Amino acid sequence: MALPVYASPLERIWHYTYLVICALIFLFLIAPILIVIPLSFNAEPYFTFTEKMLSLDPAGYSLRWYDLLLTQPSMPTDVPRDAAWWAQVWQESIWIRAAKNSVIIGVFSTIVATVLGTIAALGLSRPEMPYRRVVMAILISPMIVPIIITATGLFFFYSNPCALLNWTGLADQCGRLTGSYLGVVLAHATLGIPFVIITVTATLIGFDQSLNRAAASLGAPPTTTFFKVTMPLILPGVISGALFAFVTSFDEVVVVLFVAAHDQQTIPRQMWNGIREQISPAILAVATILVIISVGMLATLELLRRRSERLRGVTPA
Amino acid sequence: MAEVSAAAVGLTTADGRPLRTALATAQQRAKRRAFLLVLPLLAFIVITFIVPIGQMMHQAVYNDGFSANMPRLSAWFAEHPVGTDPDEPAWQALALDLQDAATAKTAGVVGTRVNYQMSGTRSLFTSTARKAKDFAPPYRDAVIAADKKWDDPELWGTMRQVSRAYSLNFFLAALDMTQDRQGMIVAMPEDRQIYVDLFVKTFLLAGLITLTCFLLGFPIAHLLATLPLRWSNLLMILVLLPFWTSLLVRTTSWIVLLQQQGVVNSALVATGVITEEGRLQMIYNQMGTIIAMTHILLPFMILPLYSVMRPIPPSYVRAARSLGATSWTAFRRIYLPQTLPGIGAGSLLVFILAVGYYITPALVGGASGQLISNLIAFHMQDSLNWSLASALAALLLGAVLVLYWLYDRLVGIDNLKLG
């Protein structure tokens, strides 16, 4: 992006203006995410920098909002923080309960999405796959269809999951899927599947099919070929797909709002409540923790991408 | 494959089968294998995604609130043609159905269904049902004695409409239309027309957000595409970090930044640009929706643009310059046309995502920044008019599927890239 030597003065001015504009857009992208980090250490219940914070006075900063995440209004404040206290926090803090739910739902929906999605991607990447375009369009559609429509449909479906089985007489024995972990996990798996499909098929584009044939010609059965030859090569794509699926579930709130009950409160659901009712700096403490998690995810993904490129560099294109 | 089979005529495999059939069988088997790998996921998606959406579509045209709880009167309507004045059997059916509804406590459900078509009738059903146990023949006089509003041909016309469980009434309502007593389709009264306007507003706002995403995304994608890889990978993190950060975190951040006691307003007051009283209202309105959604959807514009711009050789623009084009002409005639696939892909993707957005408008949109999705949620959760919510959702789904089809035609779903 260096300026050519023949650039006129006007072009030079434009070039530097352009760089300034780009810097401002980068600021627009990144500032809102970084701003919550210092504000979450605010000693006062304000959403702006106090004078003490600006003069870097330690008294202007505190961990009180992080502390608030652990404690409940119902818990006594003046007890020593021993093992029993921490055990109580682990059981009772609404944020820790929400975190547990988020992780449970995220892990199970990621497993479902990754296993089914990877197997399907293997089929989709074969040149013989019939109706490829239509099938692909259907499998990607949960990402495109507005989430409110998905949630509405799931609400009707979960209220009576066996409605279509009416003729068998089983409809009444099905119960409901609303307010159940299973319901939320299935829905989140559905939402994560497009990401797995996209990342794994992208990895498989660079995959050399003759490796599979070589393994087969040496006598390996299909399962051995898959686990010893294919899997290690596409693993980076699978893991990044799984990460996408996990983040999708970890960040999802609308389906949880529509089909989950109080028992399945997740972190986004809890944040939603917090923002809608009375926004307190405790939300910023949660936001900061989530930003740090997403930085970690991004770093993992970057490492995986480099590894994948290295691995694929070995095979002829 | 054609040449192979042409050459294969007359050839046989080692076990004596004609080569052509052996090949066809093998290809069939390969096809079946590939499809079997996809089948479990396809079945999963059909059950957890396609079936629920199908149920929602069904809900949009089906509402048995009246027909299930007023069986006798519904049967009378089915037997008698439009325009028949209610005779004594009709009044008897009404009275007996109301008695049953009072026992089963479903008069409210029936009233709600009629109320969707003709407002102010819900209380008529509930109050009459409370008096229904004393009804005795002649039923016409008994019912009218309970409430003289029953002697209204308009009400009977409406009841006839809702007596069929399947109807397009909710789609009509979603398009600001209704049926009059004769069953003709007419426009809603002016003051009750809200949905078409909201659809138009949703599309306009989505278009505006797509435009701002393009204006902000194009320079960034161009910069990233022309910098050396080492630098562009580093700067790419600034694009990907927002992409990976929780939606609710980003929305919270904008509330913190833009609210009246927030960072931007405080900074403006401190620097003297605005006065303490003149703090700007930048959030909980349309502007808040536009700013926050632009920020959230910007990576979806930058990434496709970048992947198209990166492979464009810089020598083309240099060639144009060497042939005497000014830098503006070279950009407009040489560079810009080559980026069109990326512009199309990014804009369509951002537009599709923006049209159906729910969370951000719900949290920062205030009253003026609400989109159609928010109204669907309102009818699902607050007004509990699920059929109307489904009809609105079906219309939105139709629009999104058309855009999705367009995206597949122009860009191809295979080219969807993430990060």
Instruction: Give ipTM to 2 decimals.
Output: 0.89
Query: Which of residues 215 through 244 in chain B touch A, CB cutoff 8 A?
Result: 216, 219-220, 223, 226-227, 235, 237-242, 244
Residue B185 in domain: no
Q: What is the Cα–Cα distance from A87 to B392, expressed in whole angstroms?
A: 48
Both B56 and B76 in one domain: the answer is: no
Both B122 and B207 in one domain: the answer is: no
Say how many Å lie between the first and final Cα of chain A, rounded: 30
| pLDDT per position as a tens digit, A223-254 | 899 899 888 888 888 998 999 999 999 999 99
Sign, CA torsion B279/B282/B284/B286? positive
| pLDDT per position as a tens digit, A66-98 | 888 887 666 666 777 778 888 888 888 888 999
A276 contacts B363? CB cut-off 8 A: yes
Owning domain of residue A222: 94-314
Owning domain of residue B364: 195-415
- Residue that terminates a domain, selected from B143, B164, B185: B164
- Residue that terminates a domain, selected from B164, B182, B216: B164
Nearest to A287 among B249, B356, B389 (CB): B249
Mean pLDDT, to the nearest integer, of B379-393?
93
Res. B191 pLDDT band, cuts 50 70 90: confident
Both B39 and B92 in one domain: the answer is: no
Q: What is the pLDDT of residue A315?
A: 40
Residue of A nearest to B372 (CA): A148
Residues in chain B within 8 Å Cβ distance of A22: 219-220, 223
Q: What is the pLDDT of residue A314?
A: 46
| pLDDT per position as a tens digit, B177-190 | 888 767 788 888 88
Residue of A nearest to B214 (CA): A25
Q: With 50 as the cut, is the pLDDT of residue B138 above it? A: yes
Both B134 and B9 in one domain: the answer is: no
Shortest distance between the Cα of A126 and any Cα of chain B, in A, equals 6
Res. A1 pLDDT band, cuts 50 70 90: low
| Residue of B48, B53, B351, B402 to mutate when probing chain A, most A C-beta within 10 A | B48
Both B46 and B111 in one domain: the answer is: no
Both B81 and B154 in one domain: the answer is: yes
Mean pLDDT, to the nearest integer, of B46-56?
94
Count how many domains chain A has: 1
Residue A45 in domain: no
pLDDT-wise least confident of A36-50, A125-139, B176-190, B375-389:
B176-190
Residue of B nearest to A116 (CA): B41
Look up residue B116 and give its amino acid: Y
Are B179 and B169 contacting, i.e. CB atoms less than 8 angstroms apart? yes
Both B147 and B239 in one domain: the answer is: no
Neighbours of A83 (CB within 10 A): 7
Mean pLDDT, to the nearest integer, of B156-163?
87
Q: What is the Cα–Cα distance from A58 to B164, expressed in whole angstroms?
A: 71
Shortest distance between the Cα of A129 and any Cα of chain B, in A, equals 5
3-state secondary structure B156-178: HHHHHHHCCCECCHHHHHHCCEE
Q: What is the Cα–Cα distance from B140 to B159, expressed in whole angstroms?
A: 16
Task: Indicate the angle between helix axes B71-79 and B153-162, nearest 10 degrees.
Answer: 100
| pLDDT per position as a tens digit, A10-46 | 889 999 999 999 999 999 999 999 988 988 888 888 7
Shortest distance between the Cα of B1 and any Cα of chain A, in A, equals 13
Mean pLDDT, to the nearest integer, of B245-253?
91
Mean pLDDT, to the nearest integer, of B159-167?
87
Residue B270 in domain: yes
Q: What is the pLDDT of residue B352?
A: 94
Residue B189 in domain: no
B56 contacts A149? CB cut-off 8 A: yes
Task: Tell the residue number behind the tokens 């927030």, with chain if given.
Answer: B262
Nearest to B245 among A129, A157, A291 (CB): A291
Both B313 and B209 in one domain: the answer is: yes
Residue of A nearest to B358 (CA): A148
B104 close contact with A: CB closer than 8 A: no
Prediction pTM value: 0.90
| Residue of A15, A108, A148, A284 to mutate when probing chain B, most B C-beta within 10 A | A148
Q: With 50 as the cut, is the pLDDT of residue B144 above it? A: yes
Residue A28 in domain: no
* CATH code of the domain in which B263 resides: 1.10.3720.10
Residue B334 in domain: yes
Both B284 and B390 in one domain: the answer is: yes
Count how many domains chain B has: 3
A148 contacts B376? CB cut-off 8 A: yes
Q: With 80 as the cut, is the pLDDT of residue A268 above it? A: yes
Nearest to B249 among A195, A290, A302 (CB): A290
Both B292 and B365 in one domain: the answer is: yes
Sign, CA torsion A276/B199/A195/A141? positive
Residue A86 in domain: no
Mean pLDDT, to the nearest integer, of B98-114?
89
Mean pLDDT, to the nearest integer, of B76-99?
87
pLDDT-wise least confident of A159-168, B26-35, B136-145, B321-330:
A159-168
Q: How far is CA A298 from CA B201, B227, B349, in A?
A: 36, 21, 22
Are A65 and A284 contacting, i.e. CB atoms less than 8 angstroms apart? yes
Instruction: Name the average pLDDT for chain B.
Output: 88
Residue B177 in domain: no
Both B231 and B82 in one domain: the answer is: no
B327 close contact with A: CB closer than 8 A: yes
Both B208 and B118 in one domain: the answer is: no
* CATH code of the domain in which A249 resides: 1.10.3720.10
Burial of B174 (0-12, 13-18, 19+ CB in 10 A): buried
Residue B171 in domain: no
Neighbours of A261 (CB within 10 A): 13
Residue B188 in domain: no
Nearest to B244 among A193, A284, A294 (CB): A294
Q: Residue A211: enclosing H or E segment and its boundaries? A: helix A209-217
